[in-house]
Structure 1
Amino acid sequence: MPRISPYGTWTSPISAADVAAAGGGAQWLDVVDGEAWWAEARPAEGGRLALVRADGTEMLPAPWNARNRVHEYGGRPWLVIGRSLYFTHWDDQRVYVRDLDSGDVSPVTPEPGVRQGVRYGDLRRGTSGEVWAVRETSTGPRRTDIRRDLVAFAHSEIRSLAASHHFLTAPQLSPDGRHAAWLGWDHPAMPWDETELCVAEVRLDGSFGPHRVLAGGAGVSVCQLEWESPSALLALADPEGWWNLHRITLDGTSTALAPAGKELGGALWKIGSRWFTPLGEGRYAVLDSGRLAVLDEHARTVTGVAPELTEWAAALAPYGDGVAGIASGPDRESAVVRVDFASGEVTPVVTSAEVPPAAYLPVPQERVFPGPDGERIHAYLYPPANADFAGPDGELPPYVVHVHGGPTGRNYPTLDMDFAYFTSRGIGVVAVNYGGSTGYGRAYRERLREEWGVVDVRDCVVVARALVAEGLADPARLAIRGGSAGGFTSAAAMTMDRTFGAGTVKYPILDLAGWTGEGGETHDFESRYLDGLIGPMPRARERYVERSPLTHAHALAGPVLFLQGLDDQICPPDQADRFVKSLRGKGIPYAYLTFDGEQHGFRKAATMITALEAELSFYGQVFGFDTPGVPKLELQR
């Protein structure tokens, strides 16, 4: 029989160290000579990004760290040509090459005059053994002083190819070597707003001729392209409001291969992401709102495959008679898998990490909640789950609303050890895909246009109150949590609404006017993001002030916990510092933990452990339940 104990006090086999160990995982997968390779985050090694092969061989051992800062979120960091492994190294952002026979490593690009002052990303195969990439050069002291161009390099010689737009993806070479294609966009557009698909002739000397635009622009986003033949490209574009797969010929003719209200692409946060890959004979592996499917252009259908895997990373690669990718599900963590389309069989490429027994894991429930204006608000519910415990009769559990980042991001119904840490202790979690989230088409995404701080907060409040109305959540013990843009929404909810009694705010945006190119407190990629989310300056200046949590710090609805990396270039600590300073001596309970060496999002195991245990202790103190086994977080006033 389960032991009766107040919600939040349950003991759990899932420790913060277990969550940290699960915080790595595979990314940037590709297939080399018939074998899957991928980059692998290592929290126990300070977040280093290693490169491994399916047979277990580490292809890029310590101290090499295959990350880059292009657009600050990074781009494709590795490429194999013959017996040469090219990769970007985090410490100095240079490109290096490793001889796969000797193991020797040597630099390819020159050392910049300023540390990390020149960055490279989205490595691609060019002509005559060259590597093509995006180069990002810091030109001044401000975070927005950035210039980008497309470059080619080989044997320490580097040359510029083109600079069509302020933001770029690396060029891809046509099968006959005569053309190159890439994506470009300019401020104030974000890549999910509009991009242009550019094509240029590759001259005999390897230089590019003038580019022309084949697709995109004017409210159309292209998020991925691949050459199909010397005269045609395949591209994910959304001229009808959904990222569908199109064939685009060099004369500009575009044909949707299976038009449908399905989101087969995604937000291009990291250049080099891959949501589709050709399979041959008019069939393509695609991701339908993150789930694997096969598109058949002859039947004009999109058919789901392996439904037990509910999230696939945008890193599909052809593999035998199917694809390899990185996938997770409600009962399994993210792992590298292979799917054979002939048999439908799913095979792990490597054994996934051991997960706790199912009795301690929540089963995500897909929910849709009605909004005040008839809109549909999507969310995933993770109820408390622990076979050893039950709550007392008449007691409702505390619930935490989880707000994803972006805000052009989304949640998926998968096993999340971060959530399980709380649910196995009797604290429910609901992950809200508020208006602005991807996966539901452009119209849903653009619900947030000039409404950030309104629609997102309202949707989270609607979901929380609905759980109370259904008798699932304790109205006196509701919290909200999020990082980055989710940190903004959490702070906005805590300062401009009275629904939540506690908030955890991680590496947040708190002063909207400061988080612009004009304000100087963010990086170039997102420095005009708020033109669409809040409104263009100077017309919307008052709106920037009114919606900033920093403006309303005095009106906090309850205690707050701030968690911040000190090396964050996307949401630097300046804003959290100012917010916390404004709280001192005001009688409002708060805690502020900072972490040296952490960037945007925590990568070190020690940081993850400290942050998660602090959050649990924080909720226990605010909502009045014991949290055995974790250090007590000191709250200040």
Structure 2
Amino acid sequence: MASKTIAPYGEWKSDISAEDATAGSRSLTSPRVCPKTKRAFFVESRTNGTNGIVEITPTRLKHVLPDGSSAATTVYEYGGLAYAVIPGNKLTILFSDAHAKALKVLDVDEGTVSAILESATLRYADFDAHPEIADGSHDHAWVLAVEEDHAKPKPEDVKNYVAAINTVTKEIKRVVEGADFYSYPRFSPDGRYMAWLQWSHPNLPFLGVKLFLAEFDSSDASVTNIKAVAGRDGNSIAEPRWSPDGQLYFGSDESGYRQLCKLDNGSSETIMLPGLENAEIGEAQWRVGCQTCIFLTNTTIIAAPVTFGSYQLVHINLQTKTWTKLDVPLTDIHTDCLAPISATSFLVIGSGHTTPSGVYRVTILPPNLTTQTTILCSSVDAILPESIFSSPGHIQLTTANPQPARGYAYFAINYTGSSGHGKAYREALFGAWGILDRDDVVEAINHLASRGMIDRARVGIEGGSAGGYNVLCSLTWHPDVFAGGISYCGVGDLKALDVETHKMESHYLEVLLKLDGMSEEEKEALFRARSPLYHAEWITAPLLLVHGDEDNVVPIEQSREVKGRIEGRGGQVEMIVLEGEGHDFYRADSWRTILVEGEKWWARTLLGRRGGE
């Protein structure tokens, strides 16, 4: 019997190496199944920061995209769905290659790649193939996509469209224009109609989004009879999805929570699902092409609703308007994670509390909807025992004690403004960004400390992007609460963000700070009051800044200026610059740096180990 080793909290030896968590791991997304052949694919990240496409064959996983190409897009900077399976006489895949700045076609069986377009200014994403392609009508081989034109690179000059791409003739036509943003262009099953989402400044992917419907003529890709069908009166729409028999469904937050709705005679009908009234169905995310709700049959839906930040996988019967939670060992199922295979099976990408992310095939067995779940691909190479992982507790400041990991208690806060808690909670942050979110953090710390769940003297805070802003705000306005912090690509100067950020978020502050009606002097004063940069001398806790030098969302100068301010008054601050990385980090070596240096930072600041060793 092995003897136990006693060690202080935070110094327990880990069975997970940095290599296991970086070079030995990969991100998995966007499962898709050819509707004609049922051949299945997904996107897998490579250690060099590019993305491959993997086919799921009966006997193995086959990497079908040559190493010289990458399935990735930078539409709206955050990207998203970068490919579509084209089920013609020869199976092909249309994909965006952001690294090569090209739109390409892969012949899956021959393994050859050809370019439809090479452009330094045009970007494409969120693809959907016309159903005539599956019937062999190659003259009308149209694929819908979101097109983004950076011919004039200033955010106010960048243009977006819905485009139709002919994969045979290489013709590209702009078929819908006039709005600032588009997403989810999708053909009806008979190809006669197309639906899409659109919104304009200052609205956002989850605010003021409308659903449009039009007729589509496949002979020349002309679009007629355009009309808005949902999203009026300030409601916001997400994830439109056609049923196999041609009914249009979508998520709408009209009730206060994003509920499943159906277009019926020109108006939306909410599908009442008792027990899911406070759930959000269908994602409204920064990344295009999210697929968290799919049809298996005309009357059967698989969905991954989120309730107060917790996901579940459910089977919805539209005939009886009932739902059943599926017995699948996954708790984190979001973004672009589902694809239908048959009337009783589907692919899902997700992770559990004690299991890494993976691609799974789920088969539903009648009559009680029991399931058979098979893992097809794990996101990690190492085989790690589930016993070394902790199972978190869901806390609404009232629930069970979370289990410690290596002696660290980790608390992920859904502060005011977070999604998955309904419209009112999400919009409560509007006008109060930088106040309510930072104060929520301290309230959570006080609660955890009062219950004896954490050591109040050894609390650290970390976050990225808006979460990085929260780190900087929390350290600035609550300097005595934290022993250290790490900000990843965090916002330090709101005015600079307002001036320098990319198109989609270039009016974000109008919403988050409620700038409408303010004079320029009032805006200037508010920017300064809410910007940690101008109060950085208040930060007394050691701060680590991590930033990609090609970040187009929050430029790296933001972190450099914060660092300079803290250094100017003699504070403790360090900075890691990840060369060649943008707002999101993709390369394995970048993540290894973050992991190794982050662990050293917490060892120094929370555990008091010199040098972090």
> Could you state the TM-score of these two structures normalised by the residue count of structure 1?
0.86
Q: Deviations over 1:375-421 (max 9, x none)?
A: xxx9x97543xxxxxxxxxxxxxxxxxxxxxxxxxxxxxxxxxxxxx
What does residue 464 of structure 1 align with?
Answer: 445
User: What is the rounded CA distance, in whole Å, between the counterparts of 2:337 and 2:504 in structure 1?
Assistant: 22
Alignment partner of 2:224 out of 195, 209, 213: 209
Match of 1:455 in 2: 436
Which of 15, 37, 40 pairs up with 2:41?
37
1:277-323 superposed Cα distances (whole Å, 9 cap, x missing partner): 11225221111213210122233223211253112133311123122
Q: Relative CO higher for 1 or 2, CA cutoff 8 Å, sep ≥ 6? A: 1
1:528 aligns with 2:507: yes
Aligned pair partner of 1:349 in 376, 379, 388:
376
Q: Indicate the residue corresponding to 1:576 in structure 2.
A: 559
Q: In the alignment, is residue 66 of structure 1 matched against residue 71 of structure 2?
A: yes
Q: Match for residue 136 of structure 2? A: none
Displacement after TM superposition at 1:537 (Å):
5.2
In the alignment, the residues of structure 2 paired with residue 263 and residue 20 of structure 1 have an alpha-carbon distance, to the nearest angstrom, of 32
User: Alpha-carbon deviations, 1:20-50, whole Å to 9, x = none?
Assistant: 14652210111122232100012x2x22111
Which residues of 2 match residues 439-450 of structure 1 at below 5 A? 439-450=420-431
- 1:255 positional shift: 4.1
Comparing 351-360 and 47-56, the one that deviates more = 351-360
Q: Provide Cα deviations, 1:595-622, integer angstroms capped at 9, x if missing partner.
A: 1111112211111111222122222222
Of 320-329 and 249-258, more deviation after overlay is shown by 249-258
- Match of 1:477? 458
The alignment status of 1:130 with 2:142, answered yes or no, reads yes
Partner of 1:591: 574
Q: Which amino acid aligns with 1:319?
A: I
Q: SS at the partner of 2:413?
A: strand
Which secondary structure does the structure 2 equivalent of 1:219 belong to? coil
Q: Which amino acid aligns with 2:596?
A: E
Look up the match of 1:176. Answer: 190
Q: Name which of structure 1's ranges 123-132 and 62-71 shifts more when overlaid on structure 2.
A: 123-132
Residue pairs, 1:606-617, within 5 angstroms: 606-617=589-600
Give the corresponding residue for 1:10. Answer: 12
- Contact in 1 for aligned 2:243/2:298 (Cα 8 Å): no
> Aligned in 2, Cα 1:17/1:217: closer, same or farther, shift over 3 Å?
farther
* Structure 1: runs of 5 or more not aligned: 371-377, 385-422
Letter in 2 for 1:41: S
Give the partner amino acid of 2:263.
Answer: I
Matches within 5 A, 1:218-229: 218-228=233-243
The answer to which of 131-140 and 259-268 deviates more is 259-268
Q: Which of residues 212, 220, 244 is equivalent to 1:198? A: 212
Alignment partner, residue 245 of structure 1 = 260
**Structure 2: distance between partners of 1:624 and 1:272:** 43
Q: Report the AA paired with residue 239 of structure 2.
A: Q
Q: Is the 8 A contact 2:357 2:378 kept in 1?
A: no
Between Structure 1 and Structure 2, how many residues are aligned?
Answer: 574
8 Å CA contact retained: 1:258, 1:296: no
CA contact (8 A) 1:165 1:186 kept: yes
2:512 aligned partner, one-letter code:
L
- 1:366 partner SS: coil
Give 2:532's aligned residue.
549
Matched, 1:514 2:514: no
Structure 1 equivalent of residue 355 of structure 2:
332
Q: 1:501 aligns with which of 473, 483, 486?
A: 483
Query: Which residue of the partner structure matches residue 326 of structure 2?
Result: 305
Match of 1:80 in 2: 85
Which residue in 1 is equivalent to 2:55?
A: 53
> Could you tell me which of 93, 104, 109 is aligned with 1:101?
109
Shift of 1:506: 0.5
Change (3 A) 1:291 1:21: farther
Measure, in 2, the Cα distance between the counterparts of 1:270 and 1:346: 28
Tell me which amino acid in the other structure corresponds to 1:158: I
1:312 alignment partner, SS class: coil
1:144: how far off?
Answer: 4.0
Q: How does 1:617-636 map to 2 (within 5 A)?
A: 617-626=600-609
Give 1:231 shift: 6.2
Are residues 581 and 344 of structure 1, via their aligned partners in 2, closer, same or farther at CA, if it must alter by over 3 Å? Answer: same
Contact in 2 for aligned 1:488/1:510 (Cα 8 Å): yes
Distance in 2 (CA, whole Å) between partners of 1:220 and 1:303 is 28
% identical equivalent positions: 29
Distance 1:623 1:67 in 2: 38
Amino acid at match of 2:340: P
The aligned amino acid for 1:347 is T
Q: How far apart, in 2, do the equivalents of 1:119 and 1:456 lie?
A: 34
AA partner of residue 159 (structure 2): R
- Deviation of 1:360 (Å): 2.7
Structure 2 SS opposite 1:57: strand
List aligned pairs for 1:240-319, cutoff 5 A: 240-249=255-264, 251-258=266-273, 260-289=277-306, 290-306=311-327, 308-313=329-334, 314-319=336-341
Q: Which moved more, 1:9-18 or 1:222-231?
A: 222-231
Asked if the contact 1:323–1:340 (Cα under 8 Å) also holds between the matched residues in 2, the reply is yes
Contact 2:353/2:389 (<8 A) preserved: no
User: Given that residues 266 and 438 in structure 1 are in contact (C-alpha distance below 8 angstroms), is that contact kept between their aligned partners in structure 2?
Assistant: no
Write the deviation string for residues 340-393 of structure 1: whole angstroms up to 9, x where unpaired: 2223121212356344333432221111116xxxxxxx9x97543xxxxxxxxx
Per-residue displacement from partner, 1:536-577 (whole Å, max 9, x unpaired)? 256261332211111210100311000011111111101111
Deviation (angstroms), 1:329:
0.6
Aligned-partner residue type, residue 34 of structure 1: K
Per-residue deviation, 1:500: 1.3
1:115-155, Cα deviation, whole Å (9 max, x unpaired): 3x210111111362112111100142424431011111222
Determine if contact 2:460/2:606 at 8 Å carries over to the other structure: no
Change (3 A) 1:22 1:247: farther
In the TM superposition, 1:401-416 aligns within 5 A as none
Report the Cα offset of residue 166 of structure 1. 0.9
Instruction: Tell me, in whole angstroms, the C-alpha distance in 1 between the residues paired with 2:297 and 2:362.
Output: 16
> Do residues 602 (structure 1) and 585 (structure 2) align?
yes
Question: Is the alpha carbon distance of 1:381 and 1:605 closer, same or farther for their aligned partners in structure 2, counting shifts above 3 Å?
Answer: farther
Given that residues 459 and 483 in structure 2 are in contact (C-alpha distance below 8 angstroms), is that contact kept between their aligned partners in structure 1? yes
Deviation at 1:226, TM superposition (A): 1.8
Match of residue 395 from structure 2: 367
The residue that corresponds to 1:390 in the other structure is none
What is the aligned partner in structure 1 of residue 135 from structure 2? none
Counterpart contact for 1:214–1:250, Cα < 8 Å = no
Structure 2 counterpart of 1:189: 203
SS at match of 1:192: coil
Shift of 1:333: 0.8
CA distance in 2, matches of 1:90, 1:249: 39
Write the distance in 2 (CA, Å) between the matches of 1:478 and 1:18: 27
Matched position secondary structure for 2:597: helix
1:66/1:144 CA distance change after superposition, 3 Å: farther
Q: State the match for 1:430 in structure 2.
A: 411
- Give, as a single letter, the amino acid of the residue that structure 1 aligns with 2:201: H
Question: Which residue is equivalent to 1:236?
Answer: 251
Contact 1:30 1:315 in 2 (8 A): no
CA contact 2:84–2:94 (8 Å) conserved in 1 = yes
Query: 1:410-468 CA deviation, whole Å, 9 max, x = no partner?
Result: xxxxxxxxxxxxx32x2221111112111121122122121211121111111112221
Amino acid across the alignment from 2:508: Y
Unaligned runs of 5+ in 2: 133-139
SS of 1:463's partner is: helix
